[in-house]
């Protein structure tokens, strides 16, 4: 309870706004999960989640922004990698959540994720001990993360798309269309 009634009203409004936004974001994440499961790159998205700091939104965002995995990027991909890089501040371990995300993944992919975690956690600690600025350290970790993402993506076998257009005929008219 706040000392002035007006302060309490403002606080209640803020809390209501935050709760509404959380509910909206939860709905958006559920929709994203539904759509990603139907996406051609879903195996890569799932595999990337073997890495610490990469959950569904970061994995799907990085793949969507980069298209195919390349070592070049853009501002959205950099932002996602920076977000993921923050998790390497802590010592290397396999949390319950990470273990669940790794279920059903090939051992090679899980091993790459663990190798990445060991290296990136250690690198974070070394750079901080050398007195480097926090933002510089996080950017360095994010740059290395993309190399591990690339390594994991190379391990995933995608179903090839049929390059031939599919043809439908309507009342003698041919309409060509391709599946995405």
- Sign (positive or negative) of CA dihedral 157, 163, 169, 170: positive
Q: Give tens-digit pLDDT for 132-161.
A: 999 999 999 999 999 999 999 999 988 777
**Three-state secondary structure call for residue 169:** strand
Residue 154 domain-assigned? yes
- 86 dihedral zone (left: phi>0; alpha: psi -120 to 50; beta): alpha
Q: For 36-47, what is each residue's pLDDT tens digit?
A: 999 999 999 999
* Distance separating alpha carbons of residues 83 and 109, to the nearest angstrom: 21
Residue 97 lies in a domain: yes
SS3 168: strand
How many Cβ atoms are within 10 Å of 155's Cβ, its own excluded?
A: 16
CB atoms within 10 A of CB 63: 23
Share of the chain above pLDDT 70, in %: 86
Is residue 5 in some structural domain? no
**Which among 170, 172, 118, 177 is positioned nearest to 148, based on CA atoms?**
118
pLDDT in tens, 56-109: 999 999 888 876 644 455 788 888 999 999 999 999 999 999 999 999 999 999
Cβ atoms of 43 and 59 within 8 Å: the answer is no
Rounded to two decimals, the pTM is 0.73
Q: Round to whole Å and give the CA distance between 180 and 133.
A: 44
For the chain, list the strands marked E by DSSP. 166-170, 173-177
Q: Is residue 171 part of a domain?
A: yes
**Could you list the residue range(s) of the whole structural domain that residue 50 is in?**
39-177
Tally the domains of the chain: 1
Predicted confidence (pLDDT) at residue 165 exceeds the cutoff of 80: no
- Considering the chain, what is the average pLDDT of its residues? 86
In eight-state DSSP terms, residue 89 is G
């Amino acid at each position: 309870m706040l000392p002035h009634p007006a302060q309490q009203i403002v606080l209640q409004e803020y809390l209501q706004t935050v709760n509404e936004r959380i509910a909206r974001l939860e709905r958006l994440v559920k929709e994203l999960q539904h759509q990603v499961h139907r996406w051609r790159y879903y195996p890569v998205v799932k595999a990337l989640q073997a890495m610490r700091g990469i959950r569904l939104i970061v994995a799907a965002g990085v793949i969507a922004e980069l298209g195919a995995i390349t070592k070049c990027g853009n501002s959205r991909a950099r932002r996602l990698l920076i977000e993921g890089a923050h998790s390497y501040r802590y010592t290397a371990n396999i949390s319950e959540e990470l273990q669940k995300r790794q279920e059903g993944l090939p051992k090679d992919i899980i091993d790459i994720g663990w190798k990445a975690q060991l290296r990136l956690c250690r690198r974070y600690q070394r750079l901080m001990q050398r007195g480097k600025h926090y933002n510089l350290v996080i950017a360095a970790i994010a740059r290395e993360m993309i190399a591990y993402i690339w390594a994991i993506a190379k391990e995933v076998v995608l179903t090839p798309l049929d390059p031939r257009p599919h043809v439908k005929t309507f009342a003698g008219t041919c309409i060509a269309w391709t599946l995405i």
